Amino acid sequence: MSQLAVDQNEAPEGARELLLHTASTIMREGDIVDISLSELSLRSGLNSALVKYYFGNKAGLMKALLDRDMQGIVHAVDALMSKEWDPEARLRHHIGKMVETYYETPYLNRLLMRLVRESDPEEAHRIADSYLSPLSRAYDRLIKDGVKQGVFRKVDPQLFYFTATGACDRFFSSRLVLKHCYDTEALTAELRDRYREHCIDFIMAGILAHN
């Protein structure tokens, strides 16, 4: 029996999920989009050979982590769009959830762009088709519904997508700015809550129709 088989059979239940969780924690705490397998092994308590067993290699682990995080976002947006809410309520809720997502996974957009850039064309298209296109369609529908109902002013859904995601993501991926300009780099729940309300107020002020 191979060593990899022995490692897999002896791994605790949920080893694959533990590797993903630990990799996410390392990147969040370090404000990075990479990990070392030695640190992953130390922090998870698992043999690093399990990375090869479950994911093929470290790149496969990063792709699996992106899939885990992005699938949750797409499912949440699909659920939101199925609710019988008015466009303003939907958008306010979505902005708040985006801030919470980037607080939990501040590496997410950087990891997404890195994998699209470094993957072969087939994998890059898979990522775009699986995650970016569904989100783009949701924004297009949400904004058009709001404009039709007179709630939102006419804006380009594509540009709004970049504006909203950029605002929600940038704060939590700029720890060095916080450290050197504001003498803190702690991403606290209190800071998250303040920024969530700030983003909702500012973004909604820019899209709401004014009588």
| pLDDT at site 77 | 95
The whole-model pTM stands at: 0.86
Place 1 in a pLDDT band, splitting at 50, 70 and 90: very low
Contact 90, 80 (CB under 8 A): yes
Average pLDDT over residues 162-190: 76
**12 CB-near residues (< 8 Å, 6+ apart):** 18, 46
Tens-place pLDDT, residues 111-133: 999 999 999 999 999 999 999 99
pLDDT at res. 73 = 94
**What HEC string does 161-187 produce?**
HHHHHHHHHHHHHCHHHHHHHHCCCCC
pLDDT bin (cut points 50, 70, 90) of residue 187 is: confident
What class is the 61-207 domain?
mainly alpha
Q: What is the mean pLDDT of the chain?
A: 89
pLDDT given for residue 56 in this prediction: 95
Report domain extents, the chain. Answer: 1-56, 61-207
Residue 9 pLDDT class (50, 70, 90 cuts): low
